[in-house]
Amino acid sequence: MEERWKTGEGETQSGRRGEPDSTERQSTLSCIDCGVVNCRKGDRTYPDFCLTTGLEEDLLAEALAEYEKPDVNRIAVVAAEVEADYYCKLTRVEETMEFARGIGAKKLGIATCVGLMQEARTAAKIFRKNGFEVYGVACKCGAVRKTDIGIPARCEKVGPHMCSPILQAKLLNREKTELNVLIGLCVGHDSLFYKYSDAPVTTLVAKDRVLAHNPVGALYQADKYYRRLTE
* pLDDT tens profile 157-206: 999 999 999 999 999 999 999 999 999 999 999 999 999 999 999 999 99
Q: 49 and 61 share a domain? A: no
Interval 95-110 mean pLDDT:
98
117: pLDDT strictly greater than 70:
yes
Q: 203 and 100 share a domain? A: yes
CATH number, domain of 110, equals 3.40.50.1860
Q: Which residue has the higher pLDDT, 22 or 66?
A: 66
Q: Which residue has the higher pLDDT, 195 or 48?
A: 195
229 domain-assigned: no
Q: 82 and 147 share a domain? A: no
CB 75 within 8 A of CB 179: no
For residues 30 and 49, give the distance between their C-alpha atoms in angstroms, rounded to a whole number. 7
Q: 97 and 209 share a domain? A: yes
- Using one digit for the tens of pLDDT, what is the confidence trace for 23-41? 555 568 999 898 888 898 8
Domain residue limits at 192 = 92-217
192 domain-assigned: yes
For residues 144 and 133, give the distance between their C-alpha atoms in angstroms, rounded to a whole number. 28
Which of 231, 226, 230, 223 shows the shortest CA–CA distance to 208?
226
Q: 128 and 164 share a domain? A: yes
How high is the pLDDT of residue 43? 81
For the chain, the domain total comes to 3
228 domain-assigned: no
Q: 193 and 121 share a domain? A: yes
Q: 112 and 177 share a domain? A: yes
Parallel, antiparallel or unpaired: strands 179-183 and 107-112: parallel
Q: How far is CA 70 from the centre of its chain?
A: 23
Interval 53-68 mean pLDDT:
95
Q: 122 and 210 share a domain? A: yes
Residues 6+ apart with CB under 8 A from 111: 136, 137, 139, 165, 168, 169, 172, 180, 181, 182, 183, 185, 193, 197, 201
How high is the pLDDT of residue 10? 41
Q: 74 and 105 share a domain? A: no
How high is the pLDDT of residue 14? 38
120 domain-assigned: yes
Q: 133 and 159 share a domain? A: yes
Which of 45-59, 144-158, 188-202 bottoms out in mean pLDDT, i.e. has the lowest?
A: 45-59
Phi, psi at 70, each rounded to 5°: -50, -45
How high is the pLDDT of residue 2? 34
22: pLDDT strictly greater than 70:
no
CB 109 within 8 A of CB 172: yes
For residues 98 and 214, give the distance between their C-alpha atoms in angstroms, rounded to a whole number. 23
For residues 116 and 112, give the distance between their C-alpha atoms in angstroms, rounded to a whole number. 7
How high is the pLDDT of residue 162? 98
Q: 27 and 124 share a domain? A: no
